[in-house]
Structure 1
Amino acid sequence: MRRRGSLGKGLQAGDHELLNVRRKGAYGRIRYMPGIQKRPEKDETSVKEEEEILIRPVFFVRQTSIIVLLMESIKFLYTNAGRDRTVMDLLEQTVLERNIDILAVTEPNKNRVGTQGWITDKDKDVALRFCNGRMKFNGKGGGNGFAWARCGDIYIYTCYFSPNKEQEAFEIFLRSVDRDIRERTPEKILIVGDFNAKSPTWGAPRADLRGNSIEEWIAEKDLNVVNNGKPTFERNGSVSHIDITLCSRNLRDKITNWDVDEEENLSLHKNILFEVSRSKPRYGILRTGRGFGWHFNTPLLERAKEKLAESFNRIIPSTMTLEEFQRVLTDVCEATFPKRIKRRGRSAKYWWNDEIAEKRRVCIRLRREVTRTAKRRSQEDVDLKREEYKQGRRQLKQMILKAKEKCWKGLLDELNENVWGDAYKIAVKRVGGRQPPQIDERKRMEIAKSLFPEAANITWTKRRCTAEEVPPFGTEELQRAVDKY
């Protein structure tokens, strides 16, 4: 890896290094790069010049590398799965469709979260998973009803408390979570979970005992409620606000796009989606020929500089906002550089098909019809629409289970024909990895004979004997037989 000082060769004094990165969840910033160029000295006659320098970009390419400054956001998905495996299946599909980085689940299917990659509590009432392979956690743990993981400088907690337990047990649960947080003394805290508590603070019409307890705890810990007031739970036409998102005060401005998703997930709880911006900018090197955006190449740089200069001649740089500058730089790159081909990852689970996708859209439409009918029609019409919606959900579940069973049978059939096929790759967790070595039939026989050598033939002879020739059964032999048991 190059040292930062070696990247600045070729820059002129006073030039400002800036590159805009067009990527989902990332944006550029106007910033001086420490160690690459020095900030111009201030004096009374050069204040205006300095303002222009702060906004003037310089494209810099050296050895097919580009310095970039990334501000990334982390995409979260949370829901309560109700122990249903089909809910977990749809969650995994949503993770792929929405490019989710971190998945948090309360009441997950215990068999599904017992595999590697999940962070759970002792009873598997809550689970966390980092879905982005590039994102690593640097610490994890949990207690009764909660689990946590550390991502950078953010401690992420997932909590669940059963509605069937008493208020005294809820107070003990809150104290255990509070004790665990104090042991770690985190600067930034993010808490998502199903507390089965109600309060107007997060949208409920009235507060219950648990809601009052959480309100006091929120005030004590100086936390903020992120919920926007939308209900997170729906059953037979009644809605509740029992899933809560909390964060520390210094993290509130970094949480954006918090919303209750209307996508069908086969759970009584709705999916909650939001994003968290990274707290610190990350400097990196963008290699040409890989990654995202455009192909930056040296022959086109001069043309890009000319187009950029023309744009700045029409607009006063000192009055431009970051968004305006970003738009100008994007237009120049679009007009000058060829687009980089984006490599798409997996966008669907192995069992997903068009019929299931269409059925999910039908379920969403039926649920909206229930909501509209409840406002305008009689109770009989509402019950009829609600029954249609329930039937659609049952059919969607059956379609998912049948699709998975069909894929499983197809995998078994392929195993009989090709030992080194997908079944082998799944067994050794090498899906998409290297292909097995190609061995001819003669070599296979040699390997098999070396692993399983043929034993010498033994000829057994039969001989008739009389009762007198058989030795009597004694007490010692009986005792040895008893000792074996």
Structure 2
Amino acid sequence: MFLQKNSHCIHIIGGDFNGWHPLWGSPRANRRGNSIVDLITTNNLIICNSGSHPTFETITHGIHRESIIDLTLTLNSPPNQVLNWKITKDPSPSSSHNGIIFDLHINKNSLIKAKKLSTYKYNTKNIKWDQIKDVFKKEICEHLNLNINIEQLNSSELENYVSKLTLAIQNVCKKLFSQKCNFTQRAQWWSDKLEELKQKVLKNHHKLQKLKRGKKIPDGGIN
């Protein structure tokens, strides 16, 4: 689905596909290999692999085993080409997978330039901060008590205080500053679900940092 919706874009797909097929040098095809071929043909992709050197090598029970399961795929678009594809062991000496290197030739005219979007919400170019700081502080004091000793707060109280302080700053900025017309709050593909997951990751990160400082990492991590 992703490839179909983005067929107009330049993309390179690489990884361990764990499938066999003569199209990329395997001695025979297996079910997964046939599925990969279907993916390639239905999405107008080409296989960049060249030669018959194995991409994966290992020794199990004293027997040397090798296969070609790492593929590099790209859109079948002549202006943009993957050239000089080859296997090398230099980048991954400790891995069972051999390294893959290639040159990428891109036609600059085919690139889709992203619109310039500012990450700054408010226009602060001509603001004189030495004159506005007292007004800014006064406005924040109306939303939040700044006389609290944060060193005496526990983790939950501190997190709640930081949230209130952030909200207070945002409210004051809305009142004092003009907003940029080209400001985008988030990328077009960003969803409420992703924002929820992001906040969960941040919260777990803070928990991990706290536990690491106390050397109390629980078995199985944090849920």
Fold similarity call, TM over 0.5: no
Q: TM-score if structure 1 supplies the norm length?
A: 0.20
- Point out the structure with max Rg over C-alpha: 1
Q: TM-score if structure 2 supplies the norm length?
A: 0.43
Highest RCO, 1 vs 2 (Cα 8 Å, sep ≥ 6) = 2
